[in-house]
With several copies, the nearest count.
Chain A
Amino acid sequence: MSVDLMIGACARAWDGDGEVLASGIGIVPRLAASLAMHRNPDLMMTDSEAFIVSEPVPIGPRNGYVPQFETWMGFSRVFDNVWSGKRHALVTPTQVDRFGQANISAIGDYARPKVQMLGVRGYPGNSISHANSFFVPNHTTRVFVDGEVDMVSSIGYNPERLPKGYSPDDIDIRLIVTNLCVMDFGGPGKQMRLVSLHPGVTTDQVVENTGFDISIPGEVPETAAPTAEDLELIAGFDPHNLRTTAVR
């Protein structure tokens, strides 16, 4: 699937977000955030290190480009932003279940994992505090698992895990963009729902590669292709063409 199509689809995660920090973790999410910020300059981005910048920083070697610093935001201050709710992160989990619960910690038995990954990172705090979207470059039943993910790193819409005093509306999982389609949680009772199919992809392909039932509307549109302007912008944000190697 064209990486630019996915970047364009991911960028729409921030549509209507107003003034929040757009955090895109990884090459595709970051390029998507850059595109979104170009469309909505109220969005905020960082230099992926310690400063909020006034315009997206192109990825890869800078070749003389100087980031337009406007606000220091080292890691100790990141959480002030996270907990304020004024952030929307697009992340790439290893597993996602029907509740939107995600896992980047460990696969298999938690006491003795088959595969130890990064650890939960900021997923618990992100998911209880602000909007989150997921980018899944390999839409398979190994990612979209039956049952629960092996280690619930971020809260989703699982009623059995809903904390006391919370309603499902307090959780805000926005968009899931994969190499096959775009989904959200607009199905009945926050069920995962097919929003659009990438060009050439069928509903059956999505169903086969998803480990649980999703809501499928009668009419599923095709994911909009990026415009010529989008393509030019994406190329500008990725002058070294790193995105082509980012997705298998």
Chain B
Amino acid sequence: MDKTTTASEAIGSLEDGMTIGIGGWGPRRKPMALVREILRSDIRDLTVVSYGGADVGMLCASGRIRKLVFAFVSLDFIPLEPYFRMARQNADIEIMEIDEGMLLLGLRAAAMRAPFIPTAVGLGTDVVTRNDAIRTIESPYGDGKEWVAMPALTLDVALVHVDRADRRGVCQIKGSDHYMDDLYVRAAKRAIVSCDELVDTSYFHDSAEEARYVFWERSATSAVVHAPCGAHPSSCNPLYGIDVEHFKKYAASAKEDDGWQAYVDEFVTGGEARYLDKVGGEAHIRSLPLPVY
């Protein structure tokens, strides 16, 4: 089964009001080419689940988010994401703010088709008091304690970016961390994967080690979009680092009147080839140094 498609076709399959999970972590290996494609579409009213970075910021800036499920939104070296901040301070979005581990449990529950997972995490904090949708329960085994029942975060669609994939949806992440991308994919009814490199299946046959960096079986991949440098401006370790200058420019735009529109005009409009050209080209991106933490 050849699952390759274009970003615009893949994103064209989304519908208003869907719940979308976005892989990566902060400014790391975010499926930004797919996010930009959402910006180029007219999709809206999304519920977005994300360990958030500029993916969340851009979707906030363009008014696509109805509800955000998050533990943080940050660009790491720019701690506060400017457009997310603006959206929150203007009360533009509904939120479900939860602990990072609760987000993992919600995805894991969805992945294993369980309705919830009980956890102590969240007890005693405003994560419980501020989220009417999160219930506390008692164990049927009578330990005398209350437990947070973290509900399954079932996704209509997951968007993730990987180092490489074959046409059948075998996806490899060689970076030091695959984050929760496997859980996003498994928690979703459909997973749209963008990849820096489209390879032949034989790529994975070189050694059993290559297959170790494949974190879900291909049946969990619904569509493959070949998007070289598709994580830019986030990093795709080991292929390229964070584009610090681009993120600074992006963050600075939030301080200008109509700064977001100017960013869209300069970078989003006109498609991905124009984008790569505007940000310096693939060779430049692949030369961006890997971040040191």
| A179 in contact (CB, < 8 A) | no
Q: What A residues does B112 contact at CB under 8 A?
A: 79-80, 83
Interface pair B113/A83, CB less than 8 Å apart: yes
A63 to B220, CA, bound (A): 33
- The docked-state distance in angstroms from the alpha carbon of A231 to that of B38 is 51
The reply to whether A124 and B99 contact each other, CB–CB distance below 8 Å, is yes
Do the beta carbons of A72 and B212 come within 8 Å of each other? yes
The answer on a CB contact under 8 Å between A124 and B145 is: no
Query: When each residue 122-137 of chain A gets 1 if its CB lies under 8 Å from chain B and 0 otherwise, what string results?
Result: 1111011100000000
Residue B176 is within 8 A (CB to CB) of chain A in the complex: yes
A47-B293, A120-B72 known; A54-B123 Cβ under 8 A: no
Q: Which residues of A contact B249 (CB under 8 A)?
A: none
B218 proximity list for chain A (CB < 8 A) = 19, 44, 52, 70-71
Q: Is the CB of B98 within 8 A of A50?
A: no
Residues on the B chain within 8 Å of A111, using CB: 91
Which residues of chain B have C-beta atoms less than 8 A from A176's C-beta?
A: none
Give the size of the chain A interface in residues (CB under 8 angstroms): 69
CA distance A199 to B261 in the complex (A): 52
**B25 in contact (CB, < 8 A):** yes
Q: Are A120 and B111 closer than 8 Å at their CB atoms?
A: no
A121 lies within 8 A of B124 (CB): no
Quick check: A80 and B205 within 8 Å, CB to CB? Answer: no
Residue among A19, A52, A85, A123 making CB contact with B125, cutoff 8 Å: A123
Instruction: Report chain A residues within 8 Å CB of B1.
Output: 19, 42
CB atoms of A155 and B178 under 8 A apart: no
Interface segment out of the listed B6-14, B41-49, B81-89, B156-164: B81-89
Which residue in chain A gives the minimum CB-CB distance to B176? Answer: A50
For B84-119 the 0/1 string (1 means CB < 8 A from A) is 110011110000011111101000000111000000
Q: Does A110 contact B (CB under 8 A)?
A: yes
**Which of B179-187, B225-233, B251-259 is found at the contact surface with chain A?**
B179-187
State the main secondary structure of chain A at its contact with B. Answer: loop
Given A152-B126, A166-B145, does the pair A121, B72 have CB atoms closer than 8 Å? Answer: yes
Residues of B within 8 A of A248 (CB): none
**Nearest B residue to A118 by beta-carbon distance?**
B72
CB distance from A158 to the nearest CB of B (A): 7
Q: A140 in the interface, Cβ–Cβ < 8 Å? A: no
Is the CB of A62 closer than 8 A to any CB of chain B?
Answer: yes
Counting CB contacts under 8 A, is B15 at the interface? no
Within 8 A of A (CB), among B108-140: 111-113, 120-127, 129-130
Binding site for B on A (CB under 8 A): 19-21, 42, 44, 47-52, 54, 60-62, 66, 68-76, 79-86, 101, 105-106, 110-125, 127-129, 151-156, 158, 161-166, 171
Interface residues of B (CB under 8 A from A): 1, 25, 51-52, 70-74, 79-80, 84-85, 88-91, 97-102, 104, 111-113, 120-127, 129-130, 143-146, 168, 170, 176-180, 182-183, 186, 201, 204-205, 207-208, 210-212, 214, 216-220, 292-293
